[in-house]
């Protein structure tokens, strides 16, 4: 007895459905003798009920010709229920027309056995379908594991990237009077402007979800070039001389050059570095062409830099510096508004004015410590 049991398949549950009691008895004895756990249903309604109960069947052998609800309707209902739609079904039928078999397979049956049944054929077909189900389940588990692992590694890479960006940005801050909260504020200002403009005809083609995410991620690197400015200029408490100001203005290109060198070291393009380079290089350009370092005007200034221009100037106005006191929100709002069409892109200025209360909330949420 021990030796016989050892040869039996791993216990799997089968549901047999037939309105004829004799057929249920014959089929049930055959399958139990082969080591399977068997449930029996004598109607379509009972079949649907048993299919949803635990333990669910690993395979259903379903008679086609039954009163009230035939096998085709039972299969259709099984497929409509998320809890049973993936259960494999073998049709059992006395119908010998090939068109009946084709119809059953079109509805989603995995196999088709004609009556009177041949025990060897039934056991072989059952074994084949159970092995197929086992293989599908294994593949699904493997795919789920691989998807989870890919998601975990992507999240890990994303975190490393964000931390690296913040570290570089904080390196610039350590040599400047800006604070870590300046990074948080300008990031959120840029996000607010981008969301306000995403449906605008001039910006909708560019401001999709991915690009907005990249903009926010790259924003902290806008002043990374200040690392290359001498302390006596960067930290000077008073007004800079014309010569000192020319040196200060070089931080824009110093920053974009550093990011460009990082791009060159990468084995493949890194999208957020492209945005970071544009922001670092051109966020001091002005709409009328009077900015620096290249005197770009209008739409020649990349959109990321135009967004950062508004965010950076507003934050500079409301922040305390060694050479000035912070400006109140309303005056800062007025100055940005006055720069519409001269310093700033008119439509971006309008977005700022429309969403000004959000800017105020961001500034208060991430305000500097006294």
pLDDT of residue 216: 92
Q: Is 167 inside a domain boundary?
A: no
Residue 156's Cβ-side half-sphere holds a number of Cα atoms within 13 Å equal to: 6
How would DSSP label each residue in 194-223?
A: HHHHTTSTTTTTT--HHHHHHHHHHGGGTT
Q: Is 168 inside a domain boundary?
A: no
pLDDT in 10s for each residue of the chain, 370 residues: 333 333 344 589 999 999 999 999 999 999 999 999 999 999 999 999 999 998 899 999 999 889 889 999 999 999 999 999 889 999 988 766 667 667 777 777 888 888 888 899 999 999 999 988 888 888 888 888 888 878 777 766 666 666 566 656 666 665 555 555 888 899 999 999 999 999 999 999 999 999 999 999 889 889 888 888 898 888 888 889 999 999 999 999 999 998 888 778 777 777 888 899 999 999 999 999 999 999 999 999 999 999 999 999 999 999 987 777 899 999 999 999 999 999 999 999 999 999 999 999 999 998 877 5
Contact 219, 187 (CB under 8 A): yes
> Please, what's the b/e burial string for 214-231 (b: 16 or more CB within 10 A of its CB; e: otherwise)?
bbbbbbbbbbbbbbbbee
Q: What's the token pair of residue 8?
A: 């039996």
Quick one: 136 and 272 in the same domain?
A: no
pLDDT of residue 4: 39
Q: Is 149 inside a domain boundary?
A: no
Contact 200, 347 (CB under 8 A): yes
Q: What's the token pair of residue 19?
A: 């309105």
Question: Residue 361 maps to which CATH number?
Answer: 1.10.3210.10
Separation between Cα atoms, residue 41 and residue 15, nearest integer Å: 7
This prediction has a pTM of 0.59
Quick one: 312 and 229 in the same domain?
A: yes
Q: Is 170 inside a domain boundary?
A: no
Cis preceding-peptide flag for 194 (omega within 30 of 0): no
Quick one: 216 and 322 in the same domain?
A: yes
Separation between Cα atoms, residue 206 and residue 198, nearest integer Å: 8
| Bridging pattern class, strands 37-41 and 111-114 | unpaired
pLDDT of residue 1: 37
Q: Is 120 inside a domain boundary?
A: yes
Quick one: 132 and 182 in the same domain?
A: no
Q: Is 110 inside a domain boundary?
A: yes
pLDDT of residue 180: 58
Where is the domain boundary, 92, 122, 144? 144
Quick one: 103 and 34 in the same domain?
A: yes
Quick one: 35 and 114 in the same domain?
A: yes
Quick one: 137 and 184 in the same domain?
A: no
Q: Based on the structure, what is the number of domains in the chain?
A: 2
Quick one: 193 and 132 in the same domain?
A: no
Question: Residue 68 maps to which CATH number?
Answer: 3.40.50.2300
How would DSSP label each residue in 107-153?
A: HT-SEEEESSP-HHHHHHHHHHHHHHHHHHHHHHHHHHHHHHHHHHH
Torsion sign (Cα): 89, 94, 100, 102: positive
Torsion sign (Cα): 312, 313, 314, 316: positive
Domain that holds residue 17: 2-144
Quick one: 135 and 182 in the same domain?
A: no
Quick one: 209 and 324 in the same domain?
A: yes
pLDDT of residue 321: 77
Quick one: 227 and 136 in the same domain?
A: no
Separation between Cα atoms, residue 130 and residue 1, nearest integer Å: 25
Q: Is 232 inside a domain boundary?
A: yes
Question: Would you say how long the chain is, in residues?
Answer: 370
Q: What's the token pair of residue 301?
A: 């200034």
Contact 158, 279 (CB under 8 A): no
Quick one: 211 and 292 in the same domain?
A: yes
Where is the domain boundary, 104, 124, 144? 144
Q: Is 171 inside a domain boundary?
A: no
pLDDT of residue 224: 87
Q: What's the token pair of residue 41?
A: 């249903």
């Amino acid at each position: 007895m021990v030796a016989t049991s050892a040869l039996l398949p791993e216990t799997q549950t089968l549901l047999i459905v037939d309105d004829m009691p004799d057929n249920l008895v014959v089929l049930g004895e055959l399958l139990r003798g082969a080591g399977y756990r068997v449930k029996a249903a004598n109607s379509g309604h009972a079949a649907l009920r048993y299919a949803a109960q635990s333990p669910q069947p690993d395979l259903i052998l379903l008679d086609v010709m039954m009163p009230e609800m035939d096998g085709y309707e039972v299969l259709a209902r099984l497929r409509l229920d998320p809890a049973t739609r993936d259960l494999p079904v073998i049709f059992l039928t006395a119908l010998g027309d090939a068109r009946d078999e084709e119809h059953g397979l079109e509805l989603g049956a995995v196999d088709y056995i004609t009556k009177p049944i041949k025990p060897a054929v039934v056991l072989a077909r059952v074994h084949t379908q159970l092995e197929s189900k086992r293989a599908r389940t294994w593949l699904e588990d493997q795919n789920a594991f691989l998807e989870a692992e890919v998601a975990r590694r992507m999240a890990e890479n994303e975190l490393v990237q964000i931390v690296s960006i913040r570290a570089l940005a904080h390196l610039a801050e350590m040599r400047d009077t800006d604070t870590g909260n300046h990074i948080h504020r300008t990031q959120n200002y840029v996000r607010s402007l981008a969301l306000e403009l995403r449906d605008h005809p001039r910006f909708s083609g560019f401001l999709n979800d991915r690009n907005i995410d990249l903009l926010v991620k790259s924003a902290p690197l806008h002043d990374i070039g200040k690392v290359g400015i001498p302390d006596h200029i960067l930290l000077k408490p008073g007004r800079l001389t014309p010569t000192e100001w020319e040196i200060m203005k070089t931080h824009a290109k110093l920053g974009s050059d550093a990011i460009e060198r990082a791009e060159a070291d990468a084995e493949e393009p890194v999208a957020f570095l492209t945005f970071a380079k544009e922001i670092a290089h051109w966020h001091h350009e002005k709409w009328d062409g009077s900015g620096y370092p290249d005197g770009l005007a209008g739409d020649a200034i990349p959109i990321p830099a135009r967004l950062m221009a508004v965010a950076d100037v507003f934050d500079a106005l409301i922040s305390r510096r060694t050479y000035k006191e912070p400006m109140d929100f309303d005056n800062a709002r007025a100055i940005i508004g006055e720069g519409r069409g001269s310093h700033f892109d008119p439509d971006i200025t309008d977005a700022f004015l429309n969403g000004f209360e959000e800017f105020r909330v961001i500034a208060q949420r991430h305000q500097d410590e006294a």
